[in-house]
Structures are given as structure tokens and as C-alpha cells.
Amino acid sequence: MPSFKELLSGTAIAETFASTVSVGDVYRMRFYPKDGITPKNPGDTSRNKMFVVLGKDEEHVYGCVLINTDVNVNALSQEAQRCQFPIMKHKYDGAFTAYVSHVDCSKLRPVSIDRLSSCATRICQLLDEDLEYIFDSVRNNGQISLADLRRYGIVPSA
């Protein structure tokens, strides 16, 4: 007897999964150099990262911002360093390992629904107060193009 997953096409699974994804959801997923993420240790080919979903486009590609344990002052410009929003561990019941983690609001990263549905694990939902600050930073920091902000519905289309 075929499993439920075998009965549904990949597209049907992805579309069903898409209905469960909300703005402000935090996920953990493996990222690769092709995603713009450098593996942490020599010999590693990938790195697990947490990220926040901020919006999606018409093709079910999500605009996301990464969460880092520390701010890498050696790798980030001063402008990007100013776009790091602190997330306090105690507000999220252990979802974050560091006492303070940092949301990198300087860059939106695309994550496809196929990848999100097959490779990511949902961790938690950000509180509205933190999400509002993140949106404000993403919209107003000058690091992200207006086209990308519109693509993911972070600002209204013209």
C-alpha cells in the first residue's frame, strides 16, 4: 500500500506545507556556499542556520533573514553591523542557544517552498514586538532593494 507522501505529488506536498508557513516563523535548515553561507569548520560542506520568514513571492519563494549567535564584525560592513537585531533567549523558552542571538536584517535570502518543506524544521514563532522591529529595520536600512522588498510583500507594490 502506498504511503500518503507517495500518493501526493511534490507540488501538492509543497502547496499543502505552504499553507502552514506564517510570517515570523523561525526555521532551522542546512545552508551551503551556493546560498552565500560559509561552512564554519575546515572540511565542512554546509552549515545549519536558523532564519525568520518575512514574506513570500508568487512562486512560493520565501524572503528570509538569518539568525546568528554572534555578530561577525570581521565579515560585515559597519552598515550591516547596525542591522543586527538582538533576540533574547529568555523570551523564547529555549528556542535559541545563546543568551542573545542576532537577526541579520541587512540581507533577504530566498528559500523555496520545496526546500522549506523538505529540509527545514520549524523552531518557533517570533513575538510581534520583535517582528515589528525586524520589519522596520529591513524596510528602512537601505541595504535591501525596493524590488526585493516588494517581491516578498514586505512593502506594498507600486
CATH code of the domain covering residue 99: 2.30.30.110
- Per cent of the chain over pLDDT 70 is 91
Give a yes or no: residue 114 inside a domain: yes
73-105 per-position pLDDT tens digit: 777 888 888 999 999 988 988 787 778 899 999
Check whether 152 has a pLDDT greater than 90: yes
**134-138: long-range contacts at Cβ-Cβ below 8 A with a sequence spacing of 24 or more?**
134/52, 134/54, 134/65, 134/85, 134/103, 134/105, 135/54, 137/83, 137/85, 137/105, 138/54, 138/65, 138/105, 138/108
Give a yes or no: residue 102 inside a domain: yes
* Cell digits of residue 20: 502552514
**5-13 mean pLDDT:** 60
Q: What is the pLDDT of residue 1?
A: 53
**What band does 145 get if pLDDT is binned at 50, 70 and 90?**
very high
Domain that holds residue 134: 4-151
* Domain count for the chain: 1
* Cell digits of residue 122: 520549524
Name the average pLDDT for the chain. Answer: 88
Check whether 6 has a pLDDT greater than 90: no
- Pair 154, 62: CB distance under 8 Å: no
Please give the model's pTM, rounded to 2 decimal places: 0.88
14-66 per-position pLDDT tens digit: 677 778 899 999 999 999 999 999 898 999 999 999 999 999 998 888 999 99
Report the half-sphere exposure of 132 (CA within 13 A, side-chain side). 3
Give a yes or no: residue 125 inside a domain: yes
Give a yes or no: residue 72 inside a domain: yes
pLDDT, greater one: 111 or 97: 111
Give a yes or no: residue 158 inside a domain: no
Cα distance between residue 87 and residue 98, in whole Å = 9
Residue the block writes with cell 502506498: 2
Cβ neighbors of 67 (< 8 A, separation 6 or more) are 26, 49, 50, 51, 52, 87, 96, 101, 102, 103, 104
Give a yes or no: residue 157 inside a domain: no
15-19, 111-115, 116-120, 127-131: the lowest-pLDDT one: 15-19
